[in-house]
Amino acid sequence: MKILIIFLASIMLTGCAGGGLSSSNENSYVAGSGAAVFIKQSERRDAPKFSGKTLTTGDVTLNSNQVTVINVWASWCAPCRAEAPLLQEFSIQYPRVQFAGVLTRDNISSAKAFYENFNLTYPTFIDDSILIGFKGSLIPNAIPTTLIIDRQGKVAVRISGEVTVAILKKMLEKVITDA
């Protein structure tokens, strides 16, 4: 178990030049290409339970039997800034889908400024150790990463890098219409 935690942590931190939670260097992260991976229902693995302290709303527990979009982000990440308005708009357009963020490798004051600047309304978890719960499934492998969890609480999609309208809509609709 200890080796698995170390392995997952090293994947999340790959490419860190100065690392640490207070990094503000936009070049110290692994950027994804925006590629999406969709997993067939029969091959999906359980997502972790999302519960804990959030950036602005205290403790939150997400509903585990609802389609959920999880976005892993940091305030210093340029692709995260670019996709924030899109994710916020989708959270309004899809009221039956839960949206949440997971803050990683950032400081709270910068993250709060980001959150307020983009008028985000969905919760953002501040303890990124929750990401370890994706072991054996599609782990977040870049900043940003967006994951879509199906109604059965299983990881269905990973988008590594900045999301686009086309890919997020396509993947979200695919998961929503899954039986």
Taking alpha carbons only, the member of 92, 53, 47 closest to residue 70 is 47
Range of the domain at 76: 2-176
- Report how many domains make up the chain: 1
Query: What are the φ/ψ torsions at residue 141 (nearest 5 degrees)?
Result: -120, 10
Q: What is the CATH number of the domain that holds 23?
A: 3.40.30.10
Tokens of 176: 């929503």
In this predicted model, what pLDDT tens digit does every residue of 137-153 receive, in sequence order? 888 888 999 999 999 99
In this predicted model, what pLDDT tens digit does every residue of 29-83 receive, in sequence order? 445 667 899 999 999 999 999 999 999 989 999 998 999 999 999 999 999 999 9
Distances (CA, A) of 59 to 23, 62, 127: 25, 10, 11
Tokens of 127: 């303890």
Model-wide pTM > 0.85: no
Distances (CA, A) of 100 to 17, 42, 104, 153: 27, 25, 13, 14
